[in-house]
Each structure stands twice: as C-alpha cells, then as structure tokens.
Amino acid sequence: MASTSTTSARAGSGPVAPAVTPKRAGAGARRRLAEAATRGPAQAVRGQPAGASDGRRKAVDALLDAAERLLVEQGYGAITTRKLAEQAGINPGLVHYYFGSMEEVMVQVLERFTARLIERQRAMYATDRPFLEKWRMAWTFQEEDLANGYAKIWLELQAMAWNRPEMRARVQQVNDEWRAVLTEAFAPALREYGFGALSLEAAVSLVMTMAQGYMLERLSDIHEGHAALLAEIEGWMKAQTSAGKISRGKKERAK
C-alpha cells in the first residue's frame, strides 16, 4: 500500500473508474463502496478550511508531517501535544486550535497517507499490463508500505478506533477506499482467470484480509509461510493463463 513524500492536501486519487459493486453486498456496503470509488480527487485537509491563511496551511502541514514521523518512529502512545508541537516547530496551543484533539491529528495523518497510496495504486491498476504483473507490483507496494510506515500507522489507527467510536467511521472510510480500488481491479481479473469459486465481493474480502494479516505478521517479524502462499497463488495464475491460451488456440484451429 508508497511514495513517502508528503502533500498538503488530503487528496483522493486521480480519475476514478466507475465502481464495480458486488451484487451480494448489503445496501450500506454498496453505498460506501460507491462513495469511496467516486470521491473527488482533492478533498481539503479538515484543518485547512477554505480561505485558510498561508501561515495556517504551513502550520497544519508541519503538524501532520511531524505526526506522521512520530507515529512511524514511536507510536501513538508516545506522542504528546508538546512533543508534536516541538517536532513541528509550532506553538502547542495551535494543535487543539487547528484540530480539536490529538486523535483528529492522527486520523488526518492516516487519511492523507492513504490518499497518496490510493493514487499510486489506481495508476498501477489502470495500466495495460497483464493482471499477473499488477498482482506482483501490488505486493511490491506492500513491501514498500511496510518500509515507509504506512502499514504500522494503518493498523495502529484501527486499534485506536476499537475504543473510540467517534473514530470508527473515519477508519471504515479508509477501508472502503481500499476495497473500492480492489473491487475495480479484480472484476476483470476474475473474468480473465475464469475464477468462479468466490463472488467478487468475497474474493476482494479474502485478499484484503490476507494483506492485513500479512502486514500484522511482518510487523511482528513473522515471515513463515508468506513466500509459499504468494508463490502458489502466482503459480495458479500462470497455470490459468496457460490453460486459457491453449483453449483459445484450439478454438481458433477449429474454425
């Protein structure tokens, strides 16, 4: 999920393809997927109201940059208002003035970081390369996101939301954005590979659960079984691709 450069906007992605909505999803899930897939390309950071002064924009950016670094290096439990302000070179009183709470700062860090990666992911899936190559690139991105700290921030913010109901909708929105990207990417892939064992909704949920489990274990320095799992999935894709080519060749010769 990796560019580590920061941007000043809580941006969505670039041009968004129409959502592919799983038929079996409930009404609430379908609505969230559609909203995630069609969200505008540049929603402003919540701490940056329209017409914000240049000084405010710079202060908010500095606080979000500092919070991102601290979350990656030390984790939420070690971050105080004073430490955050000191790292950002900002008056401590401005943290709550601009954001209202430390939790809001952290959620905005996650949203902003996610926006950068969603843009990267959509650009990759929009290419004409075979899906097998996209699958490999997606797992390369997964490694990048373990290295750049996104995986740690994403999982820690999910854990924070367990005991903070006011955070759950925002964390769920991030999850929905990732789900929308995979739903769009996997719809044609499942047709290409003739995979009918699972519905689109179930296949996307399986991959998302697998990816988060992979992140969780890697952050705990657990590697067992990962290489074998990815190798066997890739082997199945290669076999399906070969079988498809043979089948198409037979049909063409029979004409």
| CA 27/CA 223 separation, integer angstroms | 38
| CA 30/CA 21 separation, integer angstroms | 6
Pull the structure tokens for residue 51: 């017409």
Query: Cβ distance 59 to 24 under 8 Å?
Result: no
Q: Determine the 3-state secondary structure of 78 from DSSP.
A: helix
Question: Angle of helix 150-162 relative to helix 200-219, nearest 10 degrees?
Answer: 100
Distance of CA 151 to the CA centre of its chain: 9
Tell me: the pLDDT tens digits for 200-242?
Answer: 999 999 999 999 999 999 999 999 999 999 999 999 999 988 8
* pLDDT band (50, 70, 90) for residue 95: very high
Tell me: the pLDDT tens digits for 62-73?
Answer: 999 999 999 999
Tell me: the pLDDT tens digits for 14-55?
Answer: 333 333 333 444 555 556 555 555 554 334 456 566 566 888
Weakest-pLDDT range from 147-151, 153-157, 214-218, 251-255: 251-255
Q: How many other C-beta atoms can be found within 10 angstroms of the C-beta atom of residue 242? A: 10
CA nearest to 75, candidates 165, 156, 187? 156
Q: What is the pLDDT of residue 4?
A: 38
Write out the DSSP string of 170-234.
Answer: HHHHHHHHHHHHHHHHHHHHHHHHT--SS-HHHHHHHHHHHHHHHHHHHHTT--TTHHHHHHHHH
At 222, give phi and psi (nearest 5°): -105, 125
Hey, what CATH class is 27-222 in? mainly alpha
Q: What is the DSSP letter of 54?
A: H
The pTM is what?
A: 0.78
CA nearest to 3, candidates 116, 137, 132? 116
What residues contact residue 239 under an 8 Å CB cut-off, 6+ apart?
Answer: none
* Residue boundaries of the structural domains of the chain: 27-222
At 97, give phi and psi (nearest 5°): -65, -40
* pLDDT band (50, 70, 90) for residue 109: very high
Alpha helices, DSSP H only, in the chain?
27-37, 54-73, 81-88, 93-99, 102-125, 131-148, 150-162, 165-193, 200-219, 226-254
